[in-house]
């Protein structure tokens, strides 16, 4: 979960626009001070003792005829790493930790305070990435990762199907496609960039219309898109390689039209659960400095692992006995794009981690938190 800054009996709520500095608007709301714009990025809570917002309710009726599908590519993103983790994400556990109790039993090695962010947001991943950056400076940082997008190294495509173009639409489909990057070229961001689709985003038939990460019951309320997907993969490539497989994913964004009449998504949020087995799979694929591995016998590895384990804050499923996942949040802005051809995902540079002396594996995929 993210952190909220508290002073006395009040909560300082800072809603920072994506990749910008200090918010421009400050207005009192009871004991809370809200700086910025409330983007309705928090899930509808059952019971909560902290100030929260709600996602818009699904409209009751279909909106009529449907328009053409549209696709966007994420152009800038914000993981909320470090101090601004509390400004990014959604209320995923329907709880309000600090002052309330945690939503799950915390293992002894999950030593982070785990306080919710502003308006109930959960984004322990952002805080954890900030801590990892303390050991490998700038590795998982929003600004350089957005630069990598601008260079065509990676992005995330979002396709909206069956949208009527009206303010309300109770029946749309949302597909998410990780990309394999645009080799040796940068996107023009004119709506005609055809991003190659990672083959891990589609079914075994390699059909672009058979996405693995899909919500066929998404909706639009007052131009706000809401989708819930069982899972989604965020594939970061370039100077950094990190495979982020999330579960219980929620996407929300404002639908806007560009001057050319095409659609884009703005003020977007992708939130979900990063279960511990997927964390260690991610560390297995992790590369930094354009190809440096982080194997378990690397001197930095224990620190990176322990920082991520410390922020575990949420259940991966209702059946979990205790906290066994990291809450994740990412803000984004996007521009119109096109679906390209399906291509294989490149293997992590440098190959897998080699066996240690005696044959023991040094691949993080076989590791876990705790002793």
Q: Which has more pLDDT, 74 or 96?
A: 74
Domain ranges of the chain: 70-345
Banded model confidence at residue 371, pLDDT cuts 50, 70, 90: confident
Does the structure show a pLDDT above 90 at 10? no
pLDDT in tens, 206-260: 999 999 999 999 999 999 999 999 999 999 999 999 999 999 999 999 999 999 9
Lowest mean pLDDT among 21-35, 100-114, 122-136, 323-337: 21-35
Provide the CB-side half-sphere exposure for 183 (13 A, CA): 9
Q: For 108, which DSSP code? A: T
Distance CA 164, CA 137 (A): 45
Does the structure show a pLDDT above 50 at 24? no
Could you tell me if residue 138 is left (phi over 0), alpha (psi between -120 and 50 degrees) or otherwise beta? left
In degrees, rounded to 5, the angle at the alpha carbon of residue 73 between the alpha carbons of residues 329 and 277 is 40
pLDDT at 117: 83
The contacts of residue 316 (CB under 8 Å, 6+ apart) are 247, 273, 275, 276, 324, 325
Residue 355: how many other CB atoms lie within 10 Å: 12
Please provide residue 229's backbone torsions phi and psi, each rounded to the nearest 5 degrees.
Answer: -120, 140
3-state secondary structure at position 142: helix
């Amino acid at each position: 979960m993210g952190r909220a800054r508290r002073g006395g009996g009040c909560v300082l709520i800072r809603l920072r626009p994506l990749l910008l500095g200090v918010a421009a608007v400050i207005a009192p709301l009871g004991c809370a001070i809200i700086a910025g714009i409330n983007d309705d990025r928090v899930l509808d809570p059952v019971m909560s003792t902290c100030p929260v917002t709600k996602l818009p309710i699904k409209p009751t009726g279909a909106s009529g005829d449907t328009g053409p599908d549209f696709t966007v590519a994420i152009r800038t993103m914000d993981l909320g790493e470090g101090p601004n983790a509390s400004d990014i994400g959604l209320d995923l556990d329907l709880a309000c930790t600090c002052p309330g109790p945690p939503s799950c039993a915390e293992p002894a090695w999950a030593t982070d305070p785990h306080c919710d962010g502003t308006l109930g947001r959960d984004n322990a991943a952002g805080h954890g990435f900030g801590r990892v950056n303390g050991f490998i400076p700038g590795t998982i940082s929003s600004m350089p990762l957005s630069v990598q997008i601008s260079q065509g190294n990676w992005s995330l495509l979002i396709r909206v199907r069956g949208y009527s173009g009206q303010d309300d639409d109770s029946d749309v489909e949302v597909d998410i496609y990780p990309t394999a990057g645009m080799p040796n070229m940068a996107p023009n961001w004119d709506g005609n960039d055809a991003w190659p689709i990672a083959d891990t985003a589609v079914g075994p038939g390699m059909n672009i219309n058979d996405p693995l990460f899909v919500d066929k019951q998404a909706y639009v309320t007052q131009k706000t898109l809401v989708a819930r997907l069982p899972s989604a993969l965020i594939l970061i490539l370039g100077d950094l390689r990190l495979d982020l497989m999330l579960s219980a994913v929620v996407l929300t964004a404002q639908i806007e039209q560009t001057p050319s009449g095409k659609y884009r998504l703005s003020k977007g949020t992708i939130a979900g659960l990063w279960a511990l087995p997927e964390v260690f799979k991610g560390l297995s694929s992790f590369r930094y400095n354009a190809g440096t591995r982080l194997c378990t016998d690397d001197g930095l590895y224990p620190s990176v692992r322990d920082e991520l384990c410390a922020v575990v804050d949420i259940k991966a499923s209702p059946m979990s006995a205790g906290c066994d996942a990291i809450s994740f949040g990412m803000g984004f802005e996007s521009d119109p794009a096109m679906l390209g051809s399906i291509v294989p995902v490149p293997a992590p540079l440098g190959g897998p981690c080699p066996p240690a002396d005696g044959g023991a594996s040094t691949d993080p995929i076989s590791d876990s938190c705790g002793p």
